[in-house]
Structure formats: structure tokens, C-alpha cells
Structure 1
Amino acid sequence: MKRKKMRKIRLLILGVTMLSILFVSGCMYPKERLMENQLPLMEQVSMVQAAIDEFHEATKVLPILTKEADTPIFEKYVIDFSGLVPRYMPYVPGGAFEQGGPYLFVLTDVETNPTVRLLDLRVVDTVSTVQSRVSYYYQKNNSLPVEGVIRPGYFTINFSQIGIGKQAQTIESPISGKQLPIIMSSTGQVGVDYTEDLELVLKNNNLQAASFEDVREIIPQNSIYVPVKSFYYDSINGKVSLAPFK
């Protein structure tokens, strides 16, 4: 009995010791590492922007990952944090994919004014899922799962034909918070229809769509996001409209 009692005491002491070590380790965790998951996204973007500006000033180049030449413009210039941490910034921000976050930090306007923006990977994942179903359907049926025509070259998708329920037929916009439709082109390319977001940004900033060569540019110019998985848009009679598919 005495031996059992001593064993319980030793286990209790060991347990308390381990808890103490864990507590102390948590208290000693570097403050900046705790902060990286607490900073608002806007501040994370500002922190990376400051590092990019300093890096660019010092090296005359940009810390970006190499991508194929035909990579869509808003996915093309992904920031390579290995060139920035720790010399130009203390840590990779918590919202970044590299830290388990849902965003890629990317650059826009790289030729004249390199600007840090966020690419929402949740949008990419959802569109990729629909794309794989559309591609598989086409391979089996030699036709696209068309439900209706939006305008020449663009269609709404018959989601029931590709086995996708209502919950995955739209995507929440990181820009407006609205549910945006997922559509496809005449070549079977799947993307997000940002018409509603574009019109909202134009209205809120008193802008004219006709003033932009690529209407999508108004989103990164007036928010911290890029319109990933988007199509081209035109201005027709002052209204935003999907451009003829190229």
C-alpha cells in the first residue's frame, strides 16, 4: 500500500512539473510569434508592403516566386518570404499560406508601383473543385454542363449534372462578402463572376468602368484583395459586362 501511495505521489509531482514546463514555454514564446495571428489583415498587408519597399530599394528586384509566362495576372507575382524574413520583416504574417493561413500574398502593378495584395485560396479551391467536375463531365459526354446563357461565350453551370449541391454553386467574395456565382466559358474554363463586386466598387468610389483598360484593376486598387479566378470585363454603356472570351 505504501509503495502504491509513493508511486501516486511521484506521478502527481511529474504531472505538475510537466504542466509548469508547458506554462513557462508558453510565457516565453516570442511576442512577435504570438502577434502574427492577431494582426488585422490590413496591418499584415502594410507590414509586408514596408518590407517589399525596403527590399526593392536595396536590391532593385522583387522577391517573387517564378511562375509560367501564361499564369493569370493576379496569380503571377506571389511573394517569396524567404527573401524578406528575417532581414526585412521579423516573421511571415499569420494570414499567409506559409503559416497555415488562407491567403497568398501577391504583388500587383509590379512595373511601376509594386503593391501587396491578398489572393484568397478558398476561392481557388472552390473553383478548382468545380473545374475538375466540369472537365470530367466534358470528357465523358463531349459537351459542357450548360444550364443557361449569360452572354455569348459565358454560361451558368448545371451543377446537378456534375454532382455539386447548392452550397458549392457560389463563393463568398472576400471583397464584398456577397455570394458570387461560379460560371464557365465556352471553352469550359470555370471562374467567378465578379460583376456585382465590380459595380459595387465603381459606385462606392465614384469611378467609371470605361476609365480602365482592365476593369478588374479597380478591385486591387480599392481593396486589399485581387479578383482571383476571374474573367475579363468590358464597359458597355457604362455598365460592367463580361468581355468576349479569349
Structure 2
Amino acid sequence: MPKRLFIRVAKRFIAVRRLFLATTIFFIVSILLSGCLYPGRDLPSTENISEDLERVQKAVDLYVEETLTPPVREATWDAEKKITGVPVDFSLLIGRYLVDAPKSAYERGGRYQYVLLADDETFIVRLVDLTLSQSVMDVQQKVYAYQQRTGRLPLGEPIIHLAPIGGAGTEDAAVYALDTSALGEAVKSPQSPYSSYRLPLLITARGRVYLDYALDLALMKERAGADDASVLQGKIDARWLLIHHAPFVPALSLPYRFEEDEPVIVRE
């Protein structure tokens, strides 16, 4: 991994690390009991995620082959949904293509949302880890509360200032590390679904909270193959590298591209 990238990501993470080392371990059960995200009360086992994913992919393939349409409620993919996917509509699959939705699925109380991505001429099934969504939602609420109290945003170290498009204003184009110490309470960075690292928290000049996948992208680059040439050359969004080599989509992320072999945030 490039040394300067590691140093840069480490700097983003220092403030969060100081806080979470002093806090207790984050329990997913507490999220479930809050009832604000999951329909079920217990987390299902994730040991068979690969089997579940393969089973749903086969069902989707058969459905598309027979109907010529993907099994989703909204068959439109804007720029963001091309990366985050569109939720699979299990009601279109259960009965003829599946006995039931997997236990790992949100619809059955699981922690994952199964989504479809349009990749060239095929549809691929991937997972959104909803614990990431819950974590960012919690932090976003703290940011809003801080802004209401102080009239300011908890902006930390500036990460990048993105060039405006078509003469648009630049106030929403700056990205910063989130100054978690300014929030006045412990804020824990969520666990990455791709590695043993935690995901640093980012914030835009308009107060939107995102997750930083730069380190995961740098690590995943080591697994890249010939099919990833367009990604490594910076021609397409670098997040496709994560999608092609792991079962998860990079939830709540900003666009990245590889520049000089390093993943950098860009404005699409």
C-alpha cells in the first residue's frame, strides 16, 4: 500500500480512534431492540451468506431469463444506484424461483439488504450491510443536533475540494474528516465489511455524513486482475473494484477514482 495513502487515512482516523478505544464494544443487538431499522429481533447467522447470495443470484438469473426484466420494484439506475444497487423484490421470486427470502435478508429480520446492480448486460446480486446505514444515521443525527446548537458543522481536517461542474457552486464540493470530538459524545466508526479496519467518517460542507473506503480500495487493488484495468486506469468508478471482488456494496460512500495508483474522492 502506498505509504502516503496510509498516512493520510490514518490521520483521518486518529480522532475517531481516540474515542472508540475508550468506549464499550458496539452491540448490534441494541440496534435491533431499538426497532428503528430491522423488522426482526435477532440477528440471523451469517455463516451461509455465500450460499444465500448464490441462491438468490440463480433465482434472479432465471427470473430475468423468463421475464426479460429484473425482479425489482423500481427498474431505474441513476448514478448512485449503479453503485449501491436497487433492492431485490423477493415477492417476485418467492414461489416459483425461491421458497423464501434468505434468513440473512432484511425481509426476514436479517442485517443485509439484497440489491441488484446492472453490470454491463447482466444483473449481479450484492449485499448492503444495514448496520452501516444505522451507524451513519446515528452520527448524522448527532451532526444535526450539533449544528442546531452551535450554528456550525463539526468539520475536521479537509480531505479534498472537488472541482465544480458546469459552473455550479462549490459549497457542497468540499469533503472533510468528521471532527467527532466536537460532538461531545463518543462516536464509533463502523466496521468495514471488506477488512478488519474501521471506516473513517467523512462530512461534506453541507453536513452530509459518508464513510471513507480509501483504505479498503487500496487493499483490494492488490487483488485486481486483468478485468479491472478500466478501474485501475481511472476510467470508471473505483468502487467497482469492491463490488467485483466482494459480496458487499460500499454503502454511504462517495465516488472514487484511481489517480497515480491511489484512490481519491472525485465529483461525478
TM-score by length of 1: 0.77
The 3 A distance-change label for structure 1 pair 70 and 155 is same
Whether contact under 8 Å (1:231, 1:242) holds in the other structure is yes
Structure 2: state its 5+ residue gaps: 1-43, 162-173
1:237 is matched with 260
1:199 is matched with 218
Q: SS of 2:200's equivalent?
A: strand
Task: Give matches, 1:199-238, under 5 Å.
Answer: 199-206=218-225, 209-238=232-261
Q: Deviations over 1:84-143 (max 9, x none)?
A: 002101111011001111000001125611000000000010011111211232233332
Distance in 1 separating the partners of 2:75 and 2:208:
20
Q: SS of 1:108's equivalent?
A: strand
CA shift at 1:226, angstroms?
A: 0.3
> Out of 59, 75, 80, which is 1:51 matched to?
59
Q: Deviations over 1:36-86 (max 9, x none)?
A: 958611110000000000001111111113389768324441001000002
Q: Give the % identical residues.
A: 27
Letter aligned with residue 146 of structure 1 = L
Indicate whether 1:178 and 2:187 are aligned. Answer: no
Report the more deviating stretch, 92-101 or 177-186: 177-186
Distance in 1 separating the partners of 2:217 and 2:234:
13
CA shift at 1:212, angstroms?
A: 4.1
Distance in 1 separating the partners of 2:80 and 2:148:
24
The 3 A distance-change label for structure 1 pair 212 and 89 is farther
Letter aligned with residue 200 of structure 2 = P
Q: Deviations over 1:191-242 (max 9, x none)?
A: 1100011111111225552254111111111111100000111222221111
The 3 A distance-change label for structure 1 pair 70 and 38 is closer
Distance in 2 separating the partners of 1:125 and 1:50:
29
Whether contact under 8 Å (2:234, 2:257) holds in the other structure is no
CA shift at 1:165, angstroms?
A: 0.8
TM-score by length of 2: 0.71
Distance in 2 separating the partners of 1:69 and 1:183:
25
Q: Larger RCO: Structure 1 or Structure 2 (Cα < 8 Å, ≥ 6 residues apart)?
A: 2
Whether contact under 8 Å (2:211, 2:252) holds in the other structure is yes
2:181 is matched with 160
2:142 is matched with 133
Distance in 1 separating the partners of 2:78 and 2:124:
21
Q: SS of 2:157's equivalent?
A: strand
| RMSD of equivalent CA atoms | 2.3
The 3 A distance-change label for structure 1 pair 236 and 109 is same
Report the more deviating stretch, 87-96 or 133-142: 133-142
**Structure with larger Rg:** 1
Size of the alignment, in residue pairs?
Answer: 208
The 3 A distance-change label for structure 1 pair 59 and 70 is closer
Distance in 2 separating the partners of 1:69 and 1:211:
22
Q: SS of 1:164's equivalent?
A: coil
Distance in 2 separating the partners of 1:76 and 1:38:
21
Letter aligned with residue 165 of structure 1 = A
The structure 1 segments of at least 4 consecutive aligned residues displaced by more than 4 Å after TM superposition are 36-39, 67-71
Structure 1: state its 5+ residue gaps: 1-35
Q: Deviations over 1:176-202 (max 9, x none)?
A: 232111111122111110001111111
The 3 A distance-change label for structure 1 pair 71 and 86 is farther
Report the more deviating stretch, 38-47 or 87-96: 38-47
> Out of 87, 101, 122, which is 1:78 matched to?
87
